[in-house]
Copies of this chain bind each other. A is one copy, B any other.
Amino acid sequence: MKINILLYDRMTALDAIGPYDVLSRFPGNEVLFVGERAGPIRTDTGYLTLVADAALDDAPPADIVLVPGGFAPPLTPGPVHEWLRAADATSTWTTSVCVGSLILGVAGLLDGRRATSHWLALDNLAAYGAVPTAERVVFDGKYATAAGVSAGIDLALALLGKIVGPEAAMVVQLGIEYDPAPPFQAGSPATAPEPIVTFLRENRDMVVQL
């Protein structure tokens, strides 16, 4: 399988690298990092540079397209969304992590579909005709969307399970020793202490600017 992962300025690195590190470990899978331009992409914190190996126009078609989220995702219709529509026309799976689903929404790819996003942005999906669905990973036909940041790892394992089977996905899971043990119970608005949830709701701009 060929996998194209979109990179853009101020994206969130883990949104892309979590799924990448799962999907790239299955033998025969090939990943290409695609940017609006080829070359360095500075991620959201300003401390990390990833490199896009191909510009949008130079990326060959892929079986899987993955769109990460970011601090200020590109939501004004432009070349990224045109590229996504073209990529989606030939993809087997079109996927996103975190507010990457809003980018798919702007591209018009989630109209009428169940989808998820970062919990602070979930309601924004409705503006694109999607059905906001508060689950960690949501499949609707060939579209797979993940909740915030770290959920991309779960999405990628689920996707690998569908494509190459549970055994192969489990080999990859054991290879990356994905037996998570968060030291706190605060990973979702349903499990986090109420003051933590309220703090982030009132300071959403710390996490994402929409």
Interface residues, chain A, CB within 8 Å of chain B? 12-14, 17-18, 20-21, 24-25, 30-33, 40, 45, 47-51, 53, 98, 118-119, 136-137, 147-151, 153-154, 157-158, 161, 166-167, 169-171, 173-184, 186-189, 191-193, 195-197, 199-200, 206-207
Do A40 and B51 touch across chains, with their CB atoms under 8 A apart? Answer: yes
Q: How many copies of the chain does the oligomer comprise?
A: 2
**A98 partner residues in chain B, CB cutoff 8 A:** 177
A136 and B181 in contact, given A173-B186, A196-B174 (Cβ under 8 angstroms): yes
A154 and B178 in contact, given A49-B51, A170-B192, A193-B170 (Cβ under 8 angstroms): no
Bound state CA distance, A45 and B26, in angstroms? 10
Do A188 and B174 touch across chains, with their CB atoms under 8 A apart? Answer: yes
Chain B residue with Cβ nearest A160:
B183
Q: How far is the CB of A179 from chain B (nearest CB, A)?
A: 3
The 5 closest A-B pairs by CB, nearest first: A148-B177, A179-B187, A170-B186, A180-B180, A49-B51
Q: When the two chains form the complex, which single residue of B13, B21, B183, B195 contacts A12, counting CB atoms closer than 8 Å?
A: B21
